[in-house]
Chain A
Amino acid sequence: MIELAVREGIRLSDESITDSPLAVRGLTVSYGQKPAVFSVDMTVQPGAMTAIIGPNGAGKSTLLKAALGIVKPLSGQVTVFGRPLEEQRARIAYVPQRASVDWDFPTRVIDVVLMGLYRELGLLGRLSARHKARALDSLARVGMHDFANRQIGQLSGGQQQRVFLARALAQEADLYLLDEPFAGVDAATEKAIISVLKSLKKAGRTVVVVHHDLATVTDYFDHVFLINTRRVAEGPVAEAFTADHLQAAYGGRLATAQVDQLARVLG
């Protein structure tokens, strides 16, 4: 066990890793010659709702994608519930950015949600009524039950986002990773998504969200992870989401309006 850990490059001294739903150590990812994420450590707290925040181009989405093995890091390790990522794929659900797929793809809403079950179904496993019911139930949880047979291109942006969330819900995972789920969605969708995420938290699941709206951080989340290529701060919202840390993460890039808004939120 110890040998394995050493070989995998896991730091044994770090107790928190062994039970953290998602632990990242020394992660560096680079597109070309500029690191998007440099030497980042992150330890996600179990059962918490964590927001990853930072300015545009700070490496938020890249961090998530590297943690999921979608992009290949230059260096660093990722463990999921204390084990290598590959062993734990079944416990992770991922909600990609809406813009990352072709919404003209010939498929219906229910088919997209059923894609969340593909790992469970295997190559040829039979799709039973039970699976369908699970997919429909997931759709109902995001308020999209009536759209099950629509073509996905006919949905509004917010509806598309909710379908993606329903797909993740159908996976019945322990760790949910969402990439900018609130970007460009209507207020009703934002409310629907956050209530689903809060119910996940209540059920003891861990939720990590790449987030861009500083004004809602304190309302929505209990932990934050501030990043600007490097980790800036990490911890409970009350401790880590401070004006100092924000200044450190955003530097001059925080608009005056945002600063005012934050001043009100943070008191």
Chain B
Amino acid sequence: MSGSEFVPLSLTPMLIGILAAVACALPGNFLVLRRQALIGDAISHVVLPGIVVAFLLTGVIAAWPMMLGAAGAAVVAVILIEAIRRLGRIEPGAAMGVVFTTMFAAGVLLLEQTDTSTVHLDVEHALYGNLESLIWLDATGWASLLDPVALAGLPVELSRILVTLVAVVGFIWLFWRPLKLSTFDEGFARTLGIRTNLLGLALVIVAAVAAVAAFDAVGSIIVIAMFICPPAAARMMTNTLEGQVGWSVIFAILSAVLGYVLAGYGPMWLGARDAVSAAGMIATISGLILALAARFGPCRTRSGAPVQV
């Protein structure tokens, strides 16, 4: 394929897919180790009510209010889950199930009650986004990468997800040591004076920000997949945290690239005319990677536990 076709049509969606996947996979590593993997699931469900409320309040479909609304909903959900878990003495899984289903139901109801015929806001979009539409119309070929006029026409989602990724990387880089320690041994971390509760909340908020930014571009289903599948697969590959994070980034990028290419060009290779959902395909590929790692990864079994055949 020539650059004049690839750059405007595929480069930016693919880049956005990669950045979103990595931004979710990074905090996902800690969530998986903390047995909080399903926080990602909960967050991605409550994004819907968040953007609907933001739309109701502002009356417009604009990126910033919607992202703020989604992030706000994520924080509300996390607080509610924590409150219900503690106040009602309910196991975390059930508390999560209560909160995110209720908030999602409220979002759907609000959406049905609102006149959204003039704007593009629906549940399907929220679930699987529209990665394919994030094209770069101003580009004519590889040379456009150096053309300031064309660069100005880059989809705004690209810069947003880039900023988010930088923020996520910054957070994990800065708090690497406390995060690692409090994930491994919370009691000991507290004796060093680390505010483990605060740090845990910060991690969830960072995950929520990543989820919201990624959701904006690629929909929520990919968000859950990227939170869990690349870190889970990476878990099977190595026995160091540094290695695990590295592998998870590789797997996230691989899922995004392969998923995008297969969704866009796979059907044509098979003789069909139209592409299939890129977000769905990226999630599917991440699952296949996980399956391979779970079957063949060098560190796939629990250490110390007997291997069951």
Contacts and interface: CB of A to CB of B under 8 A. Distances in A.
B185 A100 contact: yes
Contact of A69 (B176, B190, B243): B190
A112 B181 CA distance: 8
Contact of B302 (A92, A111, A118, A153): A153
B113 interface: no
A1 to B, nearest CB: 24
B72 to A, nearest CB: 28
A230 interface: no
Interface in B157-188: 174-178, 180-181, 183-185, 187-188
B302 A119 contact: no
B193 A96 contact: no
Nearest to B244: A106
Contacts of B184: 101-102, 105, 107, 112, 115
A104 B185 contact: no
Given A101-B184, A153-B303, A106 B191 contact: no
A107 B240 contact: yes
Nearest to B183: A105
A104 B191 contact: no
B233 to A, nearest CB: 13
A20 to B, nearest CB: 18
Interface in A150-169: 151, 153-154, 167
Contacts of B33: 102, 105-106
Contact of B177 (A89, A123, A151): A123
A153 B304 contact: yes
A70 interface: yes
Contact of A70 (B176, B187, B304): B187
A154 B304 contact: yes
A106 B304 contact: no
A23 to B, nearest CB: 17
Contacts of A238: none
A96 B188 contact: yes
A120 to B, nearest CB: 9
Given A107-B241, A108-B239, A111-B240, A101 B303 contact: no
Interface residues of A, number: 30
Nearest to B237: A106
A108 B192 CA distance: 20
Interface string A101-142: 111111110011001001101011000000000000000000
Interface in B215-246: 235, 238-241, 243-244
Given A104-B302, A119-B193, A124-B174, A96 B187 contact: yes
A239 interface: no
A69 B238 CA distance: 34
Given A92-B191, A104-B303, A118 B175 contact: no
Contacts of A94: 187-188, 191
Contacts of A92: 191
Size class of the B contact interface (CB-based, 8 Å): 20 to 34
A68 B193 CA distance: 10
Contact of B191 (A68, A100, A123): A68
Given A96-B185, A115-B185, A104 B192 contact: no
Contacts of A151: 239-240, 303
A100 B191 CA distance: 14
B187 A123 contact: no
Contacts of B176: 123
Interface string B295-309: 000000011100000
A221 B110 CA distance: 68
Interface in B237-267: 238-241, 243-244
Interface string A210-232: 00000000000000000000000
B303 A103 contact: yes
B144 to A, nearest CB: 38
B302 A89 contact: no
A106 B281 CA distance: 29
Given A108-B239, A151-B303, A89 B191 contact: yes
Nearest to A32: B89
Contacts of A112: 184
Contacts of B240: 106-108, 111, 151
Contacts of A121: 177
Q: Which of B178, B185, B238 has the most CB of A within 10 A?
A: B185
Contact of A86 (B193, B194, B239): B193
25 contacts: A65-B187, A69-B191, A70-B191, A94-B187, A94-B191, A96-B188, A101-B185, A102-B184, A103-B303, A104-B304, A105-B184, A106-B238, A106-B241, A107-B180, A107-B239, A115-B180, A115-B184, A118-B181, A119-B192, A123-B175, A123-B177, A151-B239, A151-B240, A153-B304, A154-B303
Closest 10 CB pairs of A and B: A153-B303, A151-B239, A94-B191, A89-B193, A119-B192, A101-B185, A118-B177, A105-B184, A70-B187, A68-B191
Given A106-B238, A106-B241, 14 more contacts: A70-B187, A94-B188, A96-B188, A101-B184, A101-B185, A106-B243, A107-B180, A108-B240, A115-B177, A115-B184, A118-B181, A118-B192, A123-B177, A151-B239
